[in-house]
A and B are shown apart, each in its own frame.
Chain A
Amino acid sequence: MAQEIRNYTMNFGPQHPAAHGVLRLVLEMDGETIVRADPHVGLLHRGTEKLAESKPFNQSIGYMDRLDYVSMMCNEHAYVRAIESLLGIEAPERAQYIRTMFDEITRILNHLMWVGSNALDLGAMAVFLYAFREREELMDVYEAVSGARMHATYYRPGGVYRDLPDHMSKYRESPWHKGGDLNRLNSWREGSMLDYLEAFTADFPKRVDEYEELLTNNRIWKQRTVGIGVISPEQAQAWGMTGAMLRGSGIAWDLRKKQPYAKYAEMDFDIPVGVNGDCYDRYLVRVEEMRQSNRIIQQCVKWLKANPGPVIVQNFKVAPPKREAMKEDMEALIHHFKLFTEGYGVPAGETYAVVEAPKGEFGCYLVSDGANKPFRVHLRAPGFAHLSSIDAIVRGHMLADVVAMIGTYDLVFGEVDR
């Protein structure tokens, strides 16, 4: 007797821990096999681009942090680079080094979040706890420099908001932190922020070894990632992939090398490239990127320690004068008032500024008509392009592999939905 078998449709998310936020994935299944995947996105759409059109340029920097909320400063970097390009100004050298350093701190923050949560999705709990230990240490750097642990609003057109602090806040004695434990936590925090980072970067490669020890040769990890979600180099280009997704497929494309910005041209670092284009290769690429970022931070720290200087342009039409100057100098007061009420006009024109964000190419297409508000801001989020390929990639895979694939895309819905 012939039996009729029908595909069935499964709803994955939006409230699912492996959906990394608010992805709703409608899956058409044949048994355990995916026949079609239809992602529904936009549940976190806040209209950032439209909001930016209704505000002076500087007031939207904070929105950029909230796009990809695990690589905050990289988003800011693309936006301020677009404004700087239209204004025709350039940040002072020290600011460029600070930006390079913080972009790499952000990359480590992002990849730690990624390696932790992806391992958690695939059944390894411990990596998450380890990764968040180091994330905490880098979050403290964010806090020291901007006052906020995540949404820093630290980059400004023409530089960065202020110079690096000369001390780090210390842990106080509490029932949870006391005795030798407290001394150990505070031992890095005796000197300036750069001393702290020096200690961190000296220690960090060992920590990466720990994650690798847990995953790289782990049988379960390899079974879940090797040969899963293979993306050919042609496919990767056709789907507009960038960043680790492209490098995992064997294309040595990194904007930091190919179209250098900030101080990347002066940095000594390598670009890891995958071979097979599967989830495992992309894991290896990202882990190696953490080590390379660590190298870049070390070089920046060294330079920044030796070279004090201004961190923002001395152009009071774009950047505010010092607060002390405001109390004495009429001109400074006027500049301050104009800048914070009206903002500055940006010459008419259009530009597309990019940075190599941890997830891929984060671009800002900015159109100005000469006003103090942008005419159009379009933010090119790497995750949006990556996720659009999911149907083509996961067809024929098992349901559990979809989770591996969502993980390997490194999705954050703040940027996908904007």
Chain B
Amino acid sequence: MSDTQATSLVEHLTARFGETLGIRVERNEATAELAAADLIAVATALRDEAPFRFTELVDLCGIDYLGYGQTEWDTRDVSWTGFSRGVEGEAMGRFTWAERPRGVSPPRRFAAVIHLLSIEHNQRLRLRVFCADDSLPVVPSVTGIWPGSNWFEREAFDLYGILFDGHPDLRRILTDYGFVGHPFRKDFPLIGNVEVRYDPTQKRVVYEPVSIEPRVLVPRVIRDDADLVQAKAEAADRWREN
């Protein structure tokens, strides 16, 4: 999507929906944040009205903002003890189910992110709907508007536990029959909870508590020293030299 296209889309969106949508444009990608209560009305208008015509829902996924922006390796303050070693933390892969992080959580953890495509106008739009309640995340289902969202919503329910109100058949889709928990949540251990093997004595497949240790090889680091700014400057220097 070009600059002008994104701008004209934003103008149309603002004119039509006003304060209902919180619109941002980054890298020529338009994102609109909206409340769960407005989703159905806005989605119907986006599909049907002439300036939008988002006839395709290409993607819908869940996201869990727990731990957004948290690091495991403090690289900001250098003291006489030096940097931390980056071997501790709460990021995924470091904990078992029993040790899962229960600490700081962002104001709202779960969101459903929808990517729409308008074939007529050759435009894309991203919608983000935050769930009001972390313990019972609910978003209205858009299966009535785009039937193709059916499986995407089932996937978001399966992996994140987001409930889609009005979905005709909200079953698990990717995980095992009888799976417990929502594995893509940030407080679900990377190693999982159970492992499966064939037991020759019982002559059937048995489930056992997971036996491997959680392990992380590379700590999660956010650097403020702007590696890339430096790299860009270096590239510019080289260009000048040549």
Q: Nearest chain-B residue to A381 (Cβ)? A: B59
A134 at the interface (CB under 8 A from B): no
B175 at the interface (CB under 8 A from A): yes
Stretch in A120-128, A178-186, A309-317, A398-406 with 4+ CB within 8 Å of B: A309-317
Is there an interface contact between A50 and B92, defined as CB atoms closer than 8 Å? yes
B61 at the interface (CB under 8 A from A): yes
Which chain B residues border A342 with CB–CB below 8 Å? Answer: 218-219, 221
Residue total for B at the interface (Cβ-Cβ under 8 A): 56
Is there an interface contact between B63 and A367, defined as CB atoms closer than 8 Å? yes
Is there an interface contact between A361 and B58, defined as CB atoms closer than 8 Å? yes
Q: Nearest chain-B residue to A242 (Cβ)? A: B58
Which chain A residues border B238 with CB–CB below 8 Å? Answer: 314
Given contacts A347-B228, A372-B221, contact A384 B151 (CB under 8 A): yes
Complex CA–CA separation, A31 to B30 (angstroms): 50
Is there an interface contact between A239 and B216, defined as CB atoms closer than 8 Å? no
Is there an interface contact between B148 and A371, defined as CB atoms closer than 8 Å? no
In the complex, per-residue mask of A361-394: 1 if CB is within 8 Å of any chain B CB, else 0: 1010101011111011010100011011100100
Q: Which residues of A309-341 have CB atoms within 8 Å of chain B's CB atoms?
A: 314-318, 341
Which chain A residues border B55 with CB–CB below 8 Å? Answer: 237-238
Complex CA–CA separation, A85 to B29 (angstroms): 11
Is there an interface contact between B27 and A85, defined as CB atoms closer than 8 Å? yes
Q: Nearest chain-B residue to A377 (Cβ)? A: B61
Is there an interface contact between A238 and B221, defined as CB atoms closer than 8 Å? no
Report which of A53, A237, A349 forms a contact with B119, defined as CB distance below 8 A: A237
Report which of A49, A55, A238, A363 forms a contact with B218, defined as CB distance below 8 A: A55
Is there an interface contact between B119 and A253, defined as CB atoms closer than 8 Å? yes
Complex CA–CA separation, A348 to B119 (angstroms): 29
Q: Nearest chain-A residue to B145 (Cβ)? A: A238
Q: Which residues of B11-64 have CB atoms within 8 Å of chain A's CB atoms?
A: 26-27, 29, 31, 55-59, 61, 63-64
**Within the complex, what minimum Cβ distance (angstroms) separates A347 from chain B?**
7
Which chain A residues border B222 with CB–CB below 8 Å? Answer: 345, 369-372
Complex CA–CA separation, A316 to B93 (angstroms): 28
A305 at the interface (CB under 8 A from B): no
Report which of A318, A341, A348, A367 forms a contact with B231, defined as CB distance below 8 A: A318
Given contacts A87-B228, A345-B223, A349-B27, contact A56 B218 (CB under 8 A): yes
Is there an interface contact between B190 and A54, defined as CB atoms closer than 8 Å? yes
A343 at the interface (CB under 8 A from B): yes
Is there an interface contact between B59 and A237, defined as CB atoms closer than 8 Å? no
Given contacts A371-B71, A371-B221, contact A380 B58 (CB under 8 A): yes
Is there an interface contact between B92 and A54, defined as CB atoms closer than 8 Å? yes
Which chain A residues border B155 with CB–CB below 8 Å? Answer: 384
Q: Nearest chain-A residue to B235 (Cβ)? A: A315
13 intermolecular pairs with C-beta atoms under 8 Å apart: A50-B184, A85-B27, A242-B56, A315-B231, A317-B231, A342-B221, A345-B227, A363-B115, A365-B113, A373-B220, A385-B58, A388-B152, A418-B174
Interface residues of B (CB under 8 A from A): 1, 26-27, 29, 31, 55-59, 61, 63-64, 68-69, 71, 91-93, 113, 115, 119, 122, 124, 126, 146-152, 155, 172-176, 183-184, 190, 216, 218-223, 227-228, 230-232, 234-235, 238
Please name 17 further chain A to chain B contacts, defined as beta carbons within 8 Å, in addition to the given A237-B55, A259-B122, A388-B148, sorted by A numbering.
Answer: A42-B172, A53-B92, A238-B148, A239-B147, A240-B148, A240-B152, A242-B58, A253-B119, A314-B238, A315-B234, A343-B218, A345-B221, A365-B61, A369-B222, A371-B220, A373-B218, A378-B113
